[in-house]
Amino acid sequence: MARTITTRKSGGNKGARKPYGKARVTKARVTKLRVTKLLGGKVVSKKAKPAKHAEAFKPDSRVLAKREPKLAPKLEPKLEPIGTRGVSGVAAHPSAAPILSKDDGTQKNKKDLAVQQVTVGADEADVRLDRWFRRHYPGLSHGALEKLLRTGQVRLDGRRARAAQRLRAGEILRLPPQMAMAVKPRPMRTTPDPARAAYLRELILFEDADVVAINKPAGLAVQGGTGIRESLDDWLPFLAREGGGRPKLVHRLDRETSGVLIIARTALAATKLTEAFRLHTAKKVYWALTLGVPKPLAGEMVHRLMKEGEQMVVRDHADAQRAETAYRVLDHAGRVAALVALAPKTGRTHQLRVQLAAMNCPILGDPVYAEPKAEAAAAFHESGAQKGMHLHALRLTVPHPRKGVIAVEAPVPKAFRQSLSALSLNGDTAARVEDEA
């Protein structure tokens, strides 16, 4: 087959096709002084006689650089693998593998550049897709995940997926190659501090392969925040089983509240326990020492709460959320103090503290909502009542992630019992716990 050379004058008119050589080059556009090599073929200007002068015509690259600076770099022949790019500039089939030089820095580990196929395990069934990524790739922002889903780079069983879609055991999750290089899972702490690990072991009330329940002391923050140097969330790796993942929080207690806190050790447990708290199938009982006696002595507190500044307040507003709590006065000292059992039916921020304050019976030692009764609190302290907020998560009953029910009770803290004794209040948990339920 004869090779055809196409030339064009600088004015833009097409030149005539002339046979030259054995191959064919089509749709190549060159100027009068352009000389390049395409797959071994030679292109010369129209004024040059191809058959006689092609080899002798070798323009100086410095002259080209001066006259045609954009064309100067193209004097060097381009070595491209056959099939990756045609001579007409059309990209080849994507299955053609590019040839990389040994020292160009583009060689990567094939495992890092490969698409990952992850099978959803039974312990991660019913987990939302975005939460799965949050657990395994905490450095990936939600916006970046949405883009991967929108462009189809992340798929479930070969189909496009949504961030809120819940996973099913056995599904195949496709992860794009960049996930392995750009976003790494949060590393586990493999060498826990012995002192903290031993302290946490002393707080455990119940544990198995799926969950662990502890008696959280007052003053320990559950999660970090402004002014908090260390929290229970930082200590969670100390509660991990050997070879297991990082335990996960499924509910919260205020920093100054003591008592039962349950933690999930597996993804399945985290999903089931979170659902139990969301659907209110988890039953909680709190004890509070109040400044004043609620009236009536038993009933239900129903308010609408919303946040104003750093506090929660009772407001009849469209943005306010309904809060419900059943309560019973277990014992009281005249009209000045009471031991109250509380069973919240909703889980609003500071719910028990705000509702008791709304009944003019704030919790003793509450640093935010007991300010109106600061003088009464000072008198109690002089009588032997201890400082600190007197709110204790006494009992928690929740369905086990696999089968049965978990019922855990946390002993009342020593300081709380000393305050009850100073005010001559009965704190016999064995006689009271059934009545509270």
Tell me the catalytic residues: 254
DSSP SS3 for 285: strand
CB of 390 closer than 8 Å to CB of 422: no
* CA terminus-to-terminus distance, the chain: 95
From the list 372, 351, 350, the residue with the least C-alpha distance to 361 is: 372
Give the angle subtended at the CA of 248 by the CAs of 215 and 183, to the nearest 5°. Answer: 150
Q: What are phi and psi of 168, to 5 degrees?
A: -125, 145
Q: Which residue has the tokens 């060097």?
A: 76
Residues sharing a CB contact under 8 Å with residue 428, sequence separation 6 or more, in sequence order: none
| Residue 66, number of CB atoms within 10 A of its CB | 10
Mind giving me the DSSP string for 89-102? S-B--TTSPPP--T
Tokens of 144: 């970046």
Distance CA 337, CA 421 (A): 12
DSSP 370: -
CB of 308 closer than 8 Å to CB of 283: no
DSSP 13: P
Tokens of 74: 């193209």
Distance CA 331, CA 158 (A): 63
Distance CA 61, CA 45 (A): 16
353-386: string of b/e by CB count within 10 Å (b at 16+)?
bbbbbbbebbbbbbebbbeebeebbeebeeeebb
- Chain mean position to CA 221: 20
Distance CA 247, CA 264 (A): 6
Cα dihedral value 56, 61, 64, 68, nearest 10: 130
H or E element at residue 232: helix 232-235
From the list 349, 330, 352, the residue with the least C-alpha distance to 341 is: 330
